[in-house]
Amino acid sequence: DADVTQTPRNRITKTGKRIMLECSQTKGHDRMYWYRQDPGLGLRLIYYSFDVKDINKGEISDGYSVSRQAQAKFSLSLESAIPNQTALYFCATSGSGGLETQYFGPGTRLLVL
């Protein structure tokens, strides 16, 4: 079984709708991250959490919110989806050391019409 899972894998929604993307991990990591990927722009950090009580904004947090329900679960919400939030979304996890590797989920492809 995959260590980092994301649901749903694909989602089509309409402008103005609220949607939630979920991430679960079985690696026992404290740190979790949400990124979005757009063509030609690499990955950009939306939010990150270094433990259950710690939530921080990344470089592009506007229009998004997150919830860290447990060590293993980190969800990303789009309160009112807009077309320019159409992207590939990735969740990642890492340990708490200085040079920990981030491990990525398979991604959620989101299309906002």
Partner 1 sequence: SQELEQSPQSLIVQEGKNLTINCTSSKTLYGLYWYKQKYGEGLIFLMMLQKGGEEKSHEKITAKLDEKKQQSSLHITASQPSHAGIYLCGALRGGTSYGKLTFGQGTILTVHP
Q: How far is the CB of 1 from partner 1 (least distance, A)?
A: 14
Q: Which residue has 């260590």 as its token pair?
A: 3
- Do 4 and 32 meet the contact criterion of CB atoms below 8 Å apart? no
For residue 33, what are its two tokens? 């991250």
Is residue 44 near partner 1 by the rule CB under 8 A? yes
The reply on whether position 60 binds partner 1 by CB under 8 A is no
Instruction: With beta carbons less than 8 A apart as the criterion, state whether 25 and 107 touch.
Output: no
Q: How many residues bind partner 1 (CB under 8 A)?
A: 27
Q: Which is nearer to partner 1, 58 or 63 (CB)?
A: 58
Beta-carbon contacts of residue 24 (< 8 Å; ≥ 6 apart) = 4, 5, 72, 73
Nearest residue to 71 (alpha-carbon basis) of 34, 100, 29: 29
Q: Compare residues 54 and 79 and give the one whose CB is closer to partner 1.
A: 54
Q: Contact between 104 and partner 1 (CB under 8 A)?
A: yes
Q: Which residues bind partner 1 (CB under 8 A)?
A: 4, 31, 33, 35, 40-45, 48, 50, 58, 88, 90, 92, 94, 99-107, 109
